[in-house]
């Protein structure tokens, strides 16, 4: 069959910004500049403060870099489209944005999963924490950047091969399933592959997070009373980051799967932008406040090692190897 080639995509969600174009432009510009400032400042503080040179903060810097990538894939294009009168982008740009935003989403979840593993080793194996993480930190960093890109590439190649007849996406940005809906051909197989891949992208990270925190809770319940509260306190920033990101993913999935015709424009706008704006905006603040005393995590680690050596209950002396 011959299909008419579609060379541009119309992002119809910008129609609601026409009357207050300047206000929306200023809001998104301030948000973008705030995200850049917060995350670069966080990276700089970790780099300059020697007491923060430990694996958790190295992972935190990677999280900040990923959030800078995700924000840059969305907000500059959003600012340009707000000022545009056509609200159109090329198909190639739309495809590029899909790849970068989906890579950001998978990488974000993967980094959070690796950070949960770090907390698991730090609390459940404090005496060998530095040895284990020093040996594995480089491998973990390579994994959490390469795995999302390679895994997404396998699926995204099917999207690239589709011919497009539709031209309208009812969002401020492009997503893979919305781009697939514009295809001229039957996309049942592509949709099935997409659903299966989504499960494969999230299952390992979910297993890692639940496994890590189940063991952390077990150790804290069975361990001494003072240190268990300190141990849980070091997990609070990470748990808040996980909840924040999971909330954004839930909003995006709910909006894409449920009937949103009765939602107001601003509600749909908030739900669609949450997972791309609020994690980069809030995570730097969460961890900045958590580490405001400088080196608190490192001091806790030394204290926990001492507690294990001197006060640990016999049940915790059992030597079990950490996962992978």
Cα 313 → chain centroid: 37
Closest listed residue to residue 88, CA positions, set 11, 181, 7, 6: 11
Q: Could you give the CA distance from residue 182 to residue 141 in angstroms, rounded to a whole number?
A: 36
Q: Angle at the Cα of 57 (from 51 to 58), degrees rounded to 5?
A: 115
Strands (E), 24-169: 88-90, 168-169
Delimit the domains of the chain by residue range.
8-317
**Fold classification of 8-317 (topology level):** Rhopdopsin 7-helix transmembrane proteins (1.20.1070)
Q: Could you give the CA distance from residue 17 to residue 27 in angstroms, rounded to a whole number?
A: 12
Strands (E), the chain: 8-11, 88-90, 168-169
Question: With a threshold of 0.75, does the pTM exceed it?
Answer: yes
Nearest 5°: phi and psi at 266?
-70, -30
3-state SS string over 272-295?
Answer: HHHHHHHHHHHHHHHHHHHCCCCC
Q: Which pLDDT tens digits describe the chain residue by residue (324 residues)?
A: 445 578 889 999 898 888 889 999 999 999 999 999 999 999 998 888 887 788 888 999 999 999 999 999 999 999 999 998 888 999 999 999 999 999 999 999 999 999 999 999 988 888 888 889 988 999 999 999 999 998 888 888 888 888 888 889 989 999 988 898 888 888 888 888 888 887 888 888 999 999 999 988 887 777 655 666 666 777 888 999 999 999 988 888 777 666 677 788 888 888 889 989 999 999 988 887 776 654 455 555 555 555 555 544 444 444 455 555
Within 10 Å of residue 69's Cβ, how many Cβ atoms?
17
Q: Is 87 left (phi over 0), alpha (psi -120 to 50) or beta?
A: left
Within 10 Å of residue 92's Cβ, how many Cβ atoms?
11
């Amino acid at each position: 069959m011959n299909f008419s080639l579609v060379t541009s995509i119309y992002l119809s969600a910008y129609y609601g910004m026409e009357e207050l174009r300047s206000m929306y432009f200023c809001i998104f510009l301030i948000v973008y500049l705030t995200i850049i400032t917060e995350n670069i400042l966080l990276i700089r503080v970790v780099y300059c403060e020697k007491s923060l040179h430990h694996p958790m903060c190295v992972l935190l810097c990677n999280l900040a870099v990923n959030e800078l990538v995700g924000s840059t894939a969305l907000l500059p294009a959003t600012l340009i489209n707000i000022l545009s009168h056509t609200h159109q982008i090329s198909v190639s740009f739309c495809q590029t944005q899909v790849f970068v935003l989906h890579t950001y989403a998978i990488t974000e979840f993967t980094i959070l999963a690796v950070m949960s593993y770090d907390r698991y080793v730090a609390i459940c194996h404090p005496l060998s924490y530095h040895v284990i993480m020093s040996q594995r930190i480089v491998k973990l960093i390579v994994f959490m950047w390469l795995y999302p890109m390679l895994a997404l590439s396998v699926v995204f190649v099917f999207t690239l091969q589709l011919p497009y007849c539709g031209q309208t996406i009812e969002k401020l940005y492009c997503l893979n399933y919305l781009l697939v809906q514009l295809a001229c051909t039957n996309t049942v197989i592509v949709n099935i592959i997409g659903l299966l891949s989504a499960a494969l992208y999230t299952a390992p990270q979910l297993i890692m997070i639940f496994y890590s925190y189940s063991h952390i809770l077990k150790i804290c319940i069975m361990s001494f009373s003072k240190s268990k509260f300190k141990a849980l306190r070091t997990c609070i920033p990470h748990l808040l980051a996980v909840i924040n990101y999971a909330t954004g993913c839930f909003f995006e999935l709910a909006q894409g799967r449920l009937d949103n015709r009765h939602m107001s424009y601003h509600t749909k706008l908030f739900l669609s932008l949450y997972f791309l704006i609020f994690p980069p905006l809030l995570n730097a603040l969460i961890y900045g406040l958590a580490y405001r005393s400088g080196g608190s995590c490192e001091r806790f680690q030394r204290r926990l090692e001492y507690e294990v050596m001197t006060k640990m209950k016999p049940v915790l002396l059992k030597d079990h190897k950490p996962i992978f």
